Amino acid sequence: MLDDANDTMSELKSVTVEAVTVKAAGDRYSSRVTTDLASRCTSKTTWPNGAVLEQIRIGETDYVRPNRTYIDKWKGRATADGKKQDIWSKVPTSRATPGDGLVACPREFASFGTAKKGETTTVDGSPAIEVVVTDKADKGGTYTFYVATEGRPYILKTVYKGADLDTTTTFSAFDEPLAVRPPAKVIG
């Protein structure tokens, strides 16, 4: 069942992915990505300290717009005011580095670990079945996939519960038209 859902998700032309992660210490960060699963996407990531990074990726070009808190975080200064910047910067995707908040547009949907069929439920009004996955490599972590039982077997939601953090990821806007364009005001 999960393999069929992964295949269905991999065939999508577009999807919106929203994730909220809560660390054991209580810190919470969130992200929203709308992607064609290839080379065009938009994202917005928000960190617990108020830092926000918006991104538009088109092919090999990133357009990024951080707020003041994000800029101060990376420059090692005290936070000024967290206000949104109105100007986007244009940079090549090759300048993206792990941990900088920028996302890649492709997303892999693959099975792992040991899957067990769970309860029937609903996700935002859509009938679904739980598929609970454990993996020996992730000691104590459990993934629960919620797979649609009507229409195509989309993954509607994934909940990860681990020792150090919990993440809830929802999927929506399956194959909806994707309007990813460069922003009007750009520097760089």
Q: What is the pLDDT of residues 107-125, one digit of tens each?
A: 999 888 899 999 999 999 9
Query: Do residues 150 and 126 touch, judged by C-beta distance below 8 A?
Result: yes
Q: What are the strands, taking DSSP E only, across 1-139?
A: 15-23, 28-35, 40-46, 52-58, 61-66, 88-92, 114-123, 126-134
Each of the 188 residues of the chain gets a pLDDT tens digit; together they read: 999 999 999 999 999 999 999 998 889 999 999 999 999 999 999 999 899 999 999 999 999 999 988 887 766 544 445 555 668 999 999 988 887 888 999 999 988 889 999 999 999 999 999 999 998 888 889 999 999 999 999 999 999 999 899 999 999 999 999 989 999 888 87
Place of tokens 């996302």: 103
Nearest 10 degrees: Cα torsion 9, 110, 3, 136 = -150
| CA-CA-CA-CA torsion sign (104, 178, 108, 101) | positive
| CA-CA-CA-CA torsion sign (124, 12, 144, 148) | positive
| pTM recorded for the entire structure | 0.89
